[in-house]
Amino acid sequence: MVGAIMCTATAWVLIPSLGWRAFVCATAIPSGVCVVSLQFCDESPKFLVVNGSVSEGEDILKRVYRTNHKTELPVDLDLGREVTVIANGGAQRSWNFKRLTNPREVYKGVISMQQKVVPMFDAVSGLLRISLILLLNWVGLSYGFYGLSLWLPQYFKNLDDMDIYRSTMIVAFAQLPGNIFSALFLDSMSRSRTLCISLVIMGVSVCTLPFLQDQSAAILASCFFNGFSVLSWNALDVATVELYPTHIRSTAFGVLSAAGRLGAICANLTFGLLMRAQPLVPLVVAGSMMVVSGVFVLGLPTTSQRTGHS
């Protein structure tokens, strides 16, 4: 949300006076800051334990507990047993440039990834149904969200006397209620029902846009779409993490996120090609995908008040 608001504000200030090149340069600065700041962040405790740095991983967990609870951890951690489990299953090693340029090591990495991807589509364990539903949701939500994000400024520009920067800023601020609602209530709500409601509302909002010529109505529909999109993303992220066992959780999230990126690329291509010639087509496709995703998501197991698979 903050990034969207900052991006819109930067465009509002720079593009009319200095042009789009200055805007692109300015928006690249936060990425550089992130690269630098990441060097000062703690490594994942699990990664450290997997690679043999048990005491360092324990120290980070103790510090996290101390920060959250203002007291010391009441029990001693024994992460050494995790090393034994990993050793029995084949120890994982961190990647470096030398390993990436070694064909044998790359082949081992591909095999290791395959061993984690295949269980995602295991029908016996029930993960096949979960993965297919989540795949549909990741692709559908990414297609609709990123496609409409690309098209909205052009849509506002075509409306008479519409201030494109002001309108885009209002729509960006619409994410605030969704974030507040997620922070307060998502932990106690059904992920599937939350996703269903928000996706259906998003889909209906998208399909109504081509028929709205009034500025206020268009902005209101866009705000509904953007506000519920935040709720959809938050619920989808939480559900994806909770529905997979720990040993394949990060791989599953990566696979589904990559599928979502492919959906976003398809959206940028289809919206860009068809918006002027056949503007109704990509909007109907995006809206339909989100509504269908919202219906199918009801087939997911309930994950509220669960800690997820171990």
pLDDT above 80 for 142: yes
Q: What was the pLDDT predicted at 292? A: 92
pLDDT above 60 for 81: no
Q: What was the pLDDT predicted at 248? A: 86
Q: What was the pLDDT predicted at 135? A: 94
pLDDT 10s digits, 240-261 = 999 998 888 888 999 999 999 9
pTM of the entire predicted model: 0.76
The CATH code that applies to domain 124-299 is 1.20.1250.20
Q: How far apart are CA 132 and CA 124, in angstroms?
A: 14
The pLDDT confidence band at residue 75, using thresholds 50, 70 and 90, is low
For the chain, the average pLDDT equals 81
pLDDT 10s digits, 51-67 = 777 788 888 888 888 88
Domain edges within the chain: 124-299
